[in-house]
Amino acid sequence: MGLNKFILVGLLLMICGLTPLFAENTFQLNEYQPRLVVADANVASDDSLNVNDLGFSQADVQSDLSQKDLDTREDMLKIHQILGLTTEGFLLTEFVVGLATAKNVANGSTDTSLVTDLGWATLAVYSATAAFEMFAPKPKNKKHSGNTAIHEALSWIHLPLMVLVPLTGDMINDRLGSHQPLGNLPVVHGVMATALVLTYSTSLLVITF
């Protein structure tokens, strides 16, 4: 091997071994690669890495509700959830008792006191459940979506039914008390009560599963 070849191989080995480790130095020293030196010169300083420099506006980040309101909302919705499950228990019991009472009335009985008392109790628990949702602080710009939207849409069905079912029940009681014919009123009452139980139970299921 001649001297020139020996120097050539030695030089190549040295470059191969060292350039990856000293890449920057190699290029900063190489006058034919000025772009890379410029890139290093333009590199931001550590101080500029701050979230305040990312261009977020107050509207981009700020919540509609304060933390206190969010906590209050959460507490109220938790009570709404517990009362909602309690209402479901009352509703199902009322429905079963209502079926038994309807059978007794058809057989000539006029005693509807149990179903009536249970009905008013159900209405009271239902109203409390609704109130804890209605009066909970709400974000201004947040629209209901997903299962919550279905839960809310169903409330527009079971809320009026929760008013109409006790009213028709009260009308049945009045007619029974004054010995008037009941007509189709028990059927209407029964259909509305069934719709109430179904829509309320569905609204509870969609929010849970």
Partner 1 sequence: MKILKMVLLLVLLPTALLASDLKGNWVLEKSEIDYKVTHPLHHVVGKSTQARGKGYCTSTQGKFIVAVPVKSFDSGDGNRDTHMLQITRGADNPLIAVNVQFSAPVEKAFPKEISANLEIQFAGKTVKYPKVKLGMVPLEAGRVQITAVVPLSLKAFDITPPSLLGVPIEDAVPVQLEMTWKKQ
Residues 34-63 within binding reach of partner 1 (CB under 8 A): 35-36, 39-40, 42-44, 46, 48-51, 53-56, 60-63
CB 124 within 8 A of CB 90: no
CA distance 168 to 171: 5
| Of positions 108, 143, 156, 178, contacts partner 1 by CB under 8 A | 143
Long-range contacts: 15-24, Cβ < 8 Å, 24+?
none
Q: Does 31 bind partner 1 (CB under 8 A)?
A: no
The residue (of 78 and 103) whose beta carbon lies closer to partner 1 is 78
Minimum CB–partner distance for residue 113 and partner 1 (Å): 35
Q: Which two tokens stand for residue 18?
A: 């060292």
The size of the interface with partner 1 (CB under 8 A), counted in residues, is: 52
CB 114 within 8 A of CB 101: yes
| Of positions 10, 15, 114, 180, contacts partner 1 by CB under 8 A | 15
Minimum CB–partner distance for residue 108 and partner 1 (Å): 44
Nearest CA to 128 out of 84, 91, 72, 167 is that of 84
How many residues would you count in the chain? Answer: 209
In the chain, the N- to C-terminal Cα span, in Å, equals: 81
Q: Does 65 bind partner 1 (CB under 8 A)?
A: yes
Minimum CB–partner distance for residue 180 and partner 1 (Å): 46
CA distance 180 to 198: 31
Q: Which two tokens stand for residue 120?
A: 């008013």
Residue identified by tokens 């009322």 is: 94
Q: Which range of residues in 10-18, 112-120, 123-131, 189-197 is near partner 1 by CB under 8 A?
A: 10-18
Q: Which two tokens stand for residue 75?
A: 């507490």
Q: Does 155 bind partner 1 (CB under 8 A)?
A: no
Classify residue 54 by its DSSP letter.
G
The residue (of 13 and 124) whose beta carbon lies closer to partner 1 is 13
Minimum CB–partner distance for residue 36 and partner 1 (Å): 5
Residues that bind partner 1 (CB under 8 A): 8, 12, 15-16, 19-21, 23-24, 26-27, 33, 35-36, 39-40, 42-44, 46, 48-51, 53-56, 60-63, 65-67, 69-71, 73-74, 77, 139, 142-149, 208-209
